Chains A and B, each alone.
Chain A
Amino acid sequence: MEMPVPNANVVSRKARLVERLRDVLPSDAVIDDEFETRAYECDALTAYRCPPLCVVLPRTTEEVSAVLKICSDMGVPVVPRGAGTSLAGGALPTADSVILGVARMNDVLETNYDDRYIKVQTGRTNLSVTGAVEADDFFYAPDPSSQLACAIAGNIAMNSGGAHCLKYGVTTNNLLGVKMVLMDGTVVEVGGAHLDASGYDLLGLICGSEGQLGVVTEATLRILRKPEGARPVLMGFNSNEVAGACVSDIIKAGVLPVAIEFMDRPVIRATDAFSGAGYPDCEALLIVEVEGSEAEIDEQLGVILQIARKHDPVELRESKSAEESAKIWLGRKSAFGAMGQINDYMCLDGTIPVSSLPFVLKRIGELSQDYGLDVGNVFHAGDGNMHPLILFDANKPGDLERCEAMGADILRLCVEAGGCLTGEHGVGIEKRDLMVDQFTPEDLDIQMKVKDVFDPSWLLNPAKVFPLKSSETRRAA
C-alpha cells in the first residue's frame, strides 16, 4: 500500500516538536522513544506498519487543543487513534505524524435516564458505555464485534455498525452531540441532548469522517431501555439462494428482527469445529433474533418459522433457554476467530442490495476459483452488509497481493451490484484507492472540499479515505 513520502522537514524537527509537546502535557503523556512508539505502529490491519514520530495521550479536551495548536503551528500531520481496532488502517501512522490517542479520556460525564442519554469522553470503550447504564436496564445500541475493545472515538470516526442495526441503526443514528477540537485547536460543540440541528447537520457530517475533520473528545449518546427479552432461531438451508429468498420474505412479511445473520458452508464448518456450536452441515445458515416479552417473541418467531418452512429448511432450531440461545450465537460470535485458526484472512465489508445476494455469492465463488483462494461468507443479511473472509498464507510470497487483488474484485462487484465498498469498517487506507470505482472525480472533490473547510492544511489523518492521487495537490499545499 503506497503511503506519502514522509516530510523530511517535519521529521528533522522532531526534537523541537517533542519539547513543545512536553511543555503542554504531563511527562507521561508524550512518548517519543523508538521502542515504545512501536506499540502504535499499526491498528487491526496489521499487514501495514509504520512507527509514528511520537505519540501523545492527553487526558482533557484542553490538552488535545494544545497539542493540535502546536502541530498546526509546526505543520505536523496528526493521526487520531481510539483503541486501534480499525480493520481498514484508519489509525495507521506515517513516519512524519503524531499519534493522538484518546484512550486515557474514558470518563462518564453525565447520565440522564429521563432524557435518555449518556455523555462520555470518547476514549471510553463501546461495551463500557452500556456497562455504565446496564444496572439500570439501559443500553447503548450500536454493537460492533470489537465492542469489548473499540472506543467511541473510533465508532464515531467510522460510523460503526454491528449485528443489531437492522432495528437500532448505526452510530450516526444514536449520536446526539459531540465536543470536537479542530486542527487549529478551536473547540466546537455540535448538537447536544436536544434533537436535530438548528442549521446544517454538521454532526451527521462529522460522524464517519474518519478523524479527518477534527478530534472528537466528548460524545452525547442516545441510550435505550433494554427489551424484556430476546431469542434467536437457527435455520439451515440447502443453498445460498434459498436462504437469501427466506431473508427477503421475512422482511416483506412485516416482522423486523433485531438481527439476521448469514453464514455459508465454509464458515459453518470452521466455526462448528472451533466452537462446538453443533451447527448443521448445510450450505447456508441463518440466525434470526427477535425481541420483546415472551408472548411477543413467540408471536414473531411463529411468523418467521412459518416463512422458513416454505423454503424447505434442513434444520429449524428454536432456542428454548438462555443456554440454547448462547449456543446458537456461539459459532457466529467466534466466526472470525475460527477462520483465523485455519489461516490468515482478510475481512471485507462491502454492502449490496439484499436482492443481489444470490448473484454476488455466486460470483464470489467463481472469483475464489479463479484466484485459487478460499472464501468464507459471514454477514448481516438483513441489511446486505457482507463480510467475505479471504483465506491466505502471509508467509507465502505473493499470497497477500493475490488476496488484495481478489478483495478489490469483490468490492468492485459490490459496487456494480448497486452497493458500496464499505458498510461499517470505513475506508482508511484499505479501500482508499478503490474510491474511484464508486465515485466520480466530482463526487470525491466535493467531499475533499468539506475537509478543506475543517482542516485547510490537510494535517488530520491526511493519507486516508481519498486516493493519494486525488488528494495530492491538497496535501502538498
Chain B
Amino acid sequence: MLEPTSEADLADIIRRASEPLNIRGGGTRGISAPSGQVLSTRSLSGIELYEPGALTLVAKAGTPMSEIETALASENQRLPFEPMDHRAVLGTDGVPTIGGVVAANVSGPRRIQVGACRDSLIGVRFVDGQGTVLKNGGRVMKNVTGYDLVKLMAGSYGTLGVLSEVAFKVLPGVGASATLTLRGLPVPQAVQAMSAALGSPFEVSGAAHDPARQETYLRLEGFADSVEYRARMLTEQLASFAKADVISDPDLSAATWKKIRDVEPFTGADGDVWRISVKPSDTPQVVNRLSDAQCLLDWGGGLIWVLAPTSTDVRATLAGIPGHATLVRGASTVRFHPEAPTIAALSATLREKFDPRAILNTGLMGVATPAAA
C-alpha cells in the first residue's frame, strides 16, 4: 500500500506511477475501483485551520471524521450536511475520513435544508493524474473566482484527482431538537405530508418515512422556545394527515435521525442496497414498482433507500421517471446510473483532461477512458 505523508509526497507517487491506483480514504464507503495498487490518504491527516468566528474549517483529506466532529463540537458547531456513516450497513470497518466524505459527496437527512456536502465545501487541494498539485476555491464562503472545480471534485470518487485538503463552511450547533412522528400513513400520503411540512415556514430540517413501520418523521431544530412553537404549529397544520407525536428529548430525537442517516433498518439484512434520487412526487410510483423490495424514504421522499433481492434491476423502475439509482452494496460493477450520451461524453473527456494516463480509480464511474467510449 502506498501511503504518502505529505502533499508533495502524494504528487511524487502519482507522477511516478505507471500502473492504475486504487484511491482510498478510510475505505468504509464501499465504492472503490475494481483493481489497482492501493493509495491511502490516511497519513495526510490533521485540521489545519479552524476559525469558529468565521465558520471555517480546513483539514487534510485523510483526517478522521471523528477528529473533525470533536473539534467542531467543542465550539458548538457542526458540518451542516450530516454525512452518514456507511460502516454498519455495508459491514465495512476502518476510519471514515473527511476526504472520503467529499469524494462520495455524502450528505444526510439535513441535505434538504442546508444542501449537500458539495454545498458546504468551499475549497479543495488535490493532485491530478499527472501528479500536478492544484487548488480551487479557498477558505471563504463567497468565491466566484474562476471555474468552480470544488463542486466537480465533490462526488467524483477520486477519478479526477486525489484530494489532499478540503475546506468547509460550518454552521452553529443546532440547539434544541424535536421529532414529530405521524403514524399509519401509506407512502403517497406520507410524501404529501412531508411536502406540506417542507413547504411550511417552520424550517423542517429532516423529513423521512419508514414504510415498514408506516411512520413519518419530521425534525425541527433551533432555540428551545422556537422548536416548541414550530412543533405546535406543524402538528396543527398536519392534523388532516395524522395526529403527530412529538419527541422533545434531544437524545431520542437524535437517535431517530441517526437511524435514518445510517439506514439502520437495512443493517445485516441480505440483498442489494440502492440509493434512488427522484423528485418526491414521483416517489410513490417508484416505491409501487419495487414491490419485492424494502424501502426507506429520506429527503422528503426525494431519496429512496432500497433493499432489494440480489441482482434485481432496480434501475428499470425508473423508466420514464427523471432521476438516478446508485448501487451502494451489491455485486454488480455498474454502480452508477448510465448518463445520457452527450453528458457521458463530456464527463469522459473531462476525466481524460484530469487524468490523461487513466490511472486514478480506473474502471470506477462511467467508462474507464474516453477511448473506450
Residues of A within 8 A of B353 (CB): 446, 449-450, 452-453
Q: A188-B342, A384-B141 are in contact. Are A447 and B149 (CB under 8 A)?
A: yes
Determine the distance from Cα of A192 to Cα of B340 in the docked complex, in whole angstroms. Answer: 13
Determine the distance from Cα of A451 to Cα of B350 in the docked complex, in whole angstroms. Answer: 10
**B346 is an interface residue with CB less than 8 A from chain A:** yes
B293 CB to nearest A CB, Å: 19
Residues of A within 8 A of B150 (CB): 204
Residues of B within 8 A of A422 (CB): 143-145
Judge whether A195 and B142 touch: CB under 8 Å.
no
Residues of B within 8 A of A446 (CB): 128, 132, 134, 136, 149, 353-354
A408 CB to nearest B CB, Å: 14
- Most chain A CB within 10 A, of B128, B147, B223, B339, is at B147
Residues of B within 8 A of A198 (CB): 277, 324, 326, 336-337, 339
Determine the distance from Cα of A248 to Cα of B195 in the docked complex, in whole angstroms. Answer: 36
Judge whether A204 and B346 touch: CB under 8 Å.
no
**A426 is an interface residue with CB less than 8 A from chain B:** yes
A381 CB to nearest B CB, Å: 11
**A439 is an interface residue with CB less than 8 A from chain B:** yes
Determine the distance from Cα of A64 to Cα of B148 in the docked complex, in whole angstroms. Answer: 25
Judge whether B278 and A423 touch: CB under 8 Å.
no
For chain B, residues 45 to 100, give those with C-beta under 8 angstroms from any C-beta of chain A. Answer: 51-56, 75-76
Determine the distance from Cα of A312 to Cα of B184 in the docked complex, in whole angstroms. Answer: 56
Determine the distance from Cα of A426 to Cα of B143 in the docked complex, in whole angstroms. Answer: 9
Determine the distance from Cα of A200 to Cα of B105 in the docked complex, in whole angstroms. Answer: 11
Question: A-B pairs with the 5 shortest C-beta distances?
Answer: A204-B151, A198-B324, A248-B53, A423-B142, A254-B172
**B interface footprint on A337-357 (CB within 8 Å = 1, 0 otherwise):** 000000000000001111100
Judge whether A423 and B279 touch: CB under 8 Å.
no
- Contact partner of A209 (CB less than 8 A), chosen from B111, B147, B339, is B147
Interface size, chain A (Cβ < 8 Å): 91
**B248 is an interface residue with CB less than 8 A from chain A:** no
- Most chain B CB within 10 A, of A138, A169, A194, A253, is at A194
CB nearest to B126 among chain A residues? A446
**A300 is an interface residue with CB less than 8 A from chain B:** yes
Q: Which B residues lie at the A interface, using CB under 8 A?
A: 51-56, 75-76, 105, 107, 111-112, 115-116, 118-119, 128, 132-136, 138-152, 154-156, 160, 171-173, 175, 192, 195, 198-201, 222-223, 225-226, 229-230, 277-281, 299, 302-303, 322-324, 326, 336-337, 339-340, 342-344, 346-347, 349-351, 353-354, 365-366
Residues of A within 8 A of B354 (CB): 446, 449
**A113 is an interface residue with CB less than 8 A from chain B:** yes
Judge whether A194 and B323 touch: CB under 8 Å.
yes
- Contact partner of A453 (CB less than 8 A), chosen from B52, B154, B229, B346, is B346
Judge whether A225 and B281 touch: CB under 8 Å.
no
Judge whether A202 and B340 touch: CB under 8 Å.
no
Determine the distance from Cα of A189 to Cα of B340 in the docked complex, in whole angstroms. Answer: 9
**B interface footprint on A189-212 (CB within 8 Å = 1, 0 otherwise):** 110111111111111110111000
**A255 is an interface residue with CB less than 8 A from chain B:** yes
**A2 is an interface residue with CB less than 8 A from chain B:** no
Residues of A within 8 A of B154 (CB): 201, 204
- Contact partner of B199 (CB less than 8 A), chosen from A113, A158, A451, is A113
- Contact partner of A114 (CB less than 8 A), chosen from B55, B119, B192, B299, is B192
Judge whether A251 and B144 touch: CB under 8 Å.
no
Determine the distance from Cα of A158 to Cα of B230 in the docked complex, in whole angstroms. Answer: 36
Residues of B within 8 A of A352 (CB): 140
Residues of B within 8 A of A431 (CB): 145
Residues of A within 8 A of B322 (CB): 192-194
Residues of A within 8 A of B303 (CB): 195
Judge whether B349 and A225 touch: CB under 8 Å.
no
Judge whether B54 and A251 touch: CB under 8 Å.
yes
Residues of B within 8 A of A449 (CB): 353-354
Determine the distance from Cα of A200 to Cα of B119 in the docked complex, in whole angstroms. Answer: 15
Determine the distance from Cα of A453 to Cα of B351 in the docked complex, in whole angstroms. Answer: 10
Q: A114-B192, A188-B343, A295-B229 are in contact. Are A170 and B142 (CB under 8 A)?
A: yes
**A465 is an interface residue with CB less than 8 A from chain B:** yes
Q: A114-B195, A227-B201, A446-B354 are in contact. Are A254 and B76 (CB under 8 A)?
A: yes
- 16 pairs, CB–CB < 8 Å, chain A vs chain B: A116-B199, A161-B142, A172-B148, A194-B278, A194-B322, A195-B299, A195-B302, A199-B339, A202-B152, A204-B148, A209-B148, A251-B52, A252-B52, A385-B142, A431-B145, A446-B149
